[in-house]
């Protein structure tokens, strides 16, 4: 190392770079210790890179009970329309995307897609049709829907086929 230092510009550069890398390496070691002490270093590190988006993807959040209910109470060929509250306008697209992924191979549709699916006269409504309703209000034609699962602030309905 001292020999390199003596050798001029390139030696100094090599030492500066080595010290710099040592500094970065030192931070890794420091964070390892910190993680052992108080939680997930990786999580906080990734938060730095992609902010709250990464934070949110790490847990299922409100999706967890809905997914559990859908997987347990609906057949694999089910068609599930999802209706959110207006205050969920920003989260809704992300939730729909996650629901489509986690409820696969069931089809998860937005309200408009669900209306398109059942047709203008509701001709395609059958026992495979479900509704995940977030507002605490009854769906249209409430007497034809049966609650198959519910939790705080949400209900999962199934369309009752005519006998």
**Site for other proteins, rule CB under 8 A:** 3-4, 6-11, 13-14, 17-18, 20-22, 24-25, 27-29, 31-32, 35, 40-43, 45-46, 48-50, 53-54, 56-60, 63, 94, 96-98, 100-102, 104-105, 107-109, 113
What is the nearest approach in angstroms of other proteins to the Cβ of residue 67?
Answer: 8
Q: Which among 99, 93, 96, 114 is positioned nearest to 68, based on CA atoms? A: 99
The DSSP line for 71-117 is: HHHS-TT-EEEEE--GGGTTTHHHHHHHHHHHTTTSEEE-HHHHHHH
Tell me the C-alpha distance between 75 and 73, whole Å.
7
**Nearest to other proteins of 29, 123 (CB atom):** 29
**Nearest to other proteins of 114, 154 (CB atom):** 114
Q: Where are the beta strands (DSSP E) in the chain?
A: 79-83, 107-109, 129-133, 145-151, 154-159
What is the nearest approach in angstroms of other proteins to the Cβ of residue 132?
Answer: 15
Tell me the C-alpha distance between 35 and 16, whole Å.
29
**For residues 156 and 131, is the Cβ–Cβ distance under 8 A?**
yes
**Nearest to other proteins of 88, 144 (CB atom):** 88
What is the nearest approach in angstroms of other proteins to the Cβ of residue 29?
Answer: 6
**Nearest to other proteins of 34, 137 (CB atom):** 34
What is the nearest approach in angstroms of other proteins to the Cβ of residue 162?
Answer: 26
């Amino acid at each position: 190392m001292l020999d390199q230092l003596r050798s001029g510009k390139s030696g100094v550069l090599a030492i500066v770079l080595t010290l710099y890398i040592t500094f970065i390496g030192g931070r890794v070691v420091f964070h390892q210790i910190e993680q052992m002490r108080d939680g997930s270093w990786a999580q906080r590190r990734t938060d730095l890179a992609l902010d709250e988006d990464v934070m949110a993807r790490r847990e299922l959040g409100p999706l967890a009970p809905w997914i559990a209910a859908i997987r347990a109470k609906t057949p694999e060929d089910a068609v599930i329309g999802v209706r959110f509250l207006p205050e969920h306008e920003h989260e809704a697209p992300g939730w729909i995307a996650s629901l489509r992924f986690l409820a696969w191979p069931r089809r998860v549709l937005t309200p408009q897609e669900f209306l398109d699916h059942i047709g203008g006269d509701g001709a395609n409504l059958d026992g495979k049709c479900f509704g995940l309703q977030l507002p605490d209000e009854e769906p249209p034609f409430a007497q034809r829907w049966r609650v198959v699962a519910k939790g705080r602030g949400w209900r999962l309905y199934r369309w009752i086929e005519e006998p």
